[in-house]
Structure 1
Amino acid sequence: MIAPPEVGTYVHQAIPGSRRITLDATGHCPQLSAPEATIEAIAAFARAPR
């Protein structure tokens, strides 16, 4: 693990409009270990109204 979940929470709280999700992936490259879940997370963010 590079950073504990609390770091993600801190960053999320510091960036207005951000979303924090946790993928069922391993390692530091979720686009490689869980490509479908990564694509869906990005697509859901892109589809969301602003």
Structure 2
Amino acid sequence: MQCSQDIAAPSEVGAYLLEHLPQATLITLDTTGHCPHLSAPLETLAAMETFLAKE
């Protein structure tokens, strides 16, 4: 999970991890910041619930 406007970890970091981790999933939240659980708690929770429902 990554914020679309993350100054600490730009989108290239998420893309790199997605490419190099065999079972990775990348969810990009339309929010700013490095801690989405603080800047967008409801969106973070929804993304986590969606991911966990797939397992």
Query: Normalising by the residue count of structure 1, what TM-score does the alignment of the two structures yield?
Result: 0.81
Gaps of 5+ in 2: 1-6
Instruction: Name the counterpart of 1:28.
Output: 34
After the TM superposition, which parts of structure 1 deviate over 6 Å for at least 4 consecutive aligned residues? none
Which of 1 and 2 has greater Rg? 1
Larger proportion of strand: 2
Query: Normalising by the residue count of structure 2, what TM-score does the alignment of the two structures yield?
Result: 0.75
Displacement of 1:5 in angstroms is: 0.8
**Count of residue pairs the alignment pairs up:** 49
